Amino acid sequence: MFSNPSGITRALQSFRIEDRSLCYSTFAPQLYNWCLKLGFTRGKIMPSRAFCSDESQGVPIILLAKHFGVFPFNHGRVGGIVSVDRHGPHADHGMDLMLLQSSHVGYDPDTGEFGVYRRLHTKHGDNSCSCGKIGHILDWYRAEYRYARENVRLARVDGQFAVLVDNLLLNTERTQGLFLNLEQLVRHDAHGKFHTLNTLSTAYALPAAPALVERLGEAAWPSHGSAELGISLAPEDFHYKRIFSNRDPLQDQLERNLLAPMPWIVSAEHPLLTAACLNTQAEFDRTYRSLAHNPALHDKNMLFVSGVNLDISPADQTHFPLTQFVPWAAYLHLTDGTRQILEQDELLETLASMPVDNPGQIHFDASLEAMARVPKVRVRIERT
């Protein structure tokens, strides 16, 4: 999906977060009422969710069960990856189908920090990474990025603006790691060749590209010694290579989704938020294509909605997070032949037009009390 730098930049700009989040307490009934308006049959809708396994995702699942009247089918893997091989089983479980996919990211409203979540059940109620799967994946890439920031340096060599590049970063025979897009940083001739100004013990001094000098300004080059390029190492200046070895490709799907845009993620102000948004965009595209021509759905009404869950940490006096949903896109596949994709603004407008009342919602306390009054069923094994 993310095929070039300009496409990645547009994708990031397209997914807007501010003033577009919905509280699950209103989003869940609006989603249910939308299904009814589309012609889905009350009491015959099988919801499904593709969420991470984090406990912070429990409230959305509870609210989906409350309004749809059934516990949602599980379509997801860690990180909000959709198991597209489960479309058939999902279709077998209901007359009409709804699939909700969401990556997730923690949010601390006191600090404005994304990617952290307060774990009330730890000894001291500590904050930890949310989503932990995304955070774990990012660790390796961020370490590579830090090394490059520190070991691509600016210096003056014989009066010329130069870039000192560590030998490791120039080793193109590596199978994985961060690789510089040298044409962005170093001046080259008409044949694309780079010429060395000086050979150092662990690096080469190369003439700086005119575009780099223009971008940073001449004052960025110190009069003496060298200075790390640091945060001026832009996403367009490098890319990553990574070896994937899992036999099950879905085990690596999250990292595969993020590989191409990873330079934009590690250099972002909020890396985990950026990663969650980009993963949701990739998963919507991948899942839509797996649904569009799936024979298990040819006689089914299907609504597929994708977005990001914002996990707002619970306070001491509450048990659960105040989870909010930021819609990204939706796909309709109806038995009357309707096939439609709704982009973010249209999706938000559609949801906003739906009522938040659901007279048929389940009241859990009453349902559980009724279950407790049902006589125990005796399980028998018939033998012939």
DSSP letters spanning 212-267: HHHHH-GGGS-SSSEEE-GGGS-GGGEEEE-----SSGGGGHHHHHHHTTHHHHHT
What percent of the chain shows pLDDT beyond 70? Answer: 99
- In this structure, what token pair is assigned to residue 322? 């105040």
Residue bearing tokens 């150092």: 200
Q: Same domain for 95 and 157?
A: no
Please give the residue range of the domain that contains residue 92.
Answer: 5-115+272-351
Residue 327 belongs to a domain: yes
Average of pLDDT values for 288-296?
94
Residue 134 belongs to a domain: no
* pLDDT for the residue numbered 134: 93
- In this structure, what token pair is assigned to residue 164? 């000192």
**How far apart (Å, rounded) are the C-alpha atoms in residues 139 and 188?**
33
Which of 197, 220, 241 delimits the end of a domain? 241
**How far apart (Å, rounded) are the C-alpha atoms in residues 265 and 258?**
8
Pairing relationship of beta strands 198-199 and 238-241 according to DSSP bridges: unpaired
Residue 158 belongs to a domain: yes
Confidence tier at 119 by pLDDT (50, 70, 90): confident
Q: Same domain for 99 and 146?
A: no
- In this structure, what token pair is assigned to residue 102? 């969401």
Residue 125 has pLDDT above 90, yes or no: no
Q: Same domain for 148 and 236?
A: yes
* pLDDT for the residue numbered 384: 75
Half-sphere exposure of 16 (CA within 13 A, CB side): 9
- In this structure, what token pair is assigned to residue 289? 């294509």
Task: Find the range with the poorest average confidence among 4-8, 143-147, 315-319.
Answer: 315-319
Average of pLDDT values for 281-307?
95
Residue type, 366: A
Residue 121 has pLDDT above 80, yes or no: no
* pLDDT for the residue numbered 319: 74
Q: Same domain for 151 and 107?
A: no
Q: Same domain for 279 and 325?
A: yes
Q: Same domain for 52 and 104?
A: yes
Residue 186 has pLDDT above 90, yes or no: yes
Residue 324 belongs to a domain: yes
Q: Same domain for 282 and 346?
A: yes
As for how many domains the chain has, the answer is 2
Q: Same domain for 74 and 160?
A: no
Q: Same domain for 146 and 110?
A: no
Residue 317 has pLDDT above 70, yes or no: no
- In this structure, what token pair is assigned to residue 61? 């699942």
Residue 263 belongs to a domain: no
Residue 286 belongs to a domain: yes
Confidence tier at 161 by pLDDT (50, 70, 90): very high
Residue 201 belongs to a domain: yes
* pLDDT for the residue numbered 316: 64
The DSSP secondary structure of 97-162, one letter per residue, reads EEEEEEEEEEEETTTTEESEEE-TTSTT--EEESSHHHHHHHHHHHHHHHHHHHHEEEEEETTEEE
* pLDDT for the residue numbered 190: 74
- In this structure, what token pair is assigned to residue 326? 């930021």
CA dihedral 206, 209, 212, 217 (to 10 degrees): 90
**How far apart (Å, rounded) are the C-alpha atoms in residues 41 and 127?**
43
Q: Is 182 helix (H, G, I), strand (E, B) or coil?
A: helix
Q: Same domain for 13 and 109?
A: yes
- pLDDT (tens digit, 9 = 90+) per residue, 81-118? 999 999 999 999 999 999 999 999 999 888 889 998 88
**How far apart (Å, rounded) are the C-alpha atoms in residues 16 and 111?**
20
Residue 234 has pLDDT above 90, yes or no: yes
Residue 149 belongs to a domain: yes
- In this structure, what token pair is assigned to residue 351? 């949801």
What percent of the chain shows pLDDT beyond 90? Answer: 74
**How far apart (Å, rounded) are the C-alpha atoms in residues 207 and 200?**
14
Q: Same domain for 145 and 214?
A: yes
* pLDDT for the residue numbered 2: 75
Query: 59 and 24 in contact (C-beta within 8 Å)?
Result: yes
Q: Same domain for 151 and 219?
A: yes
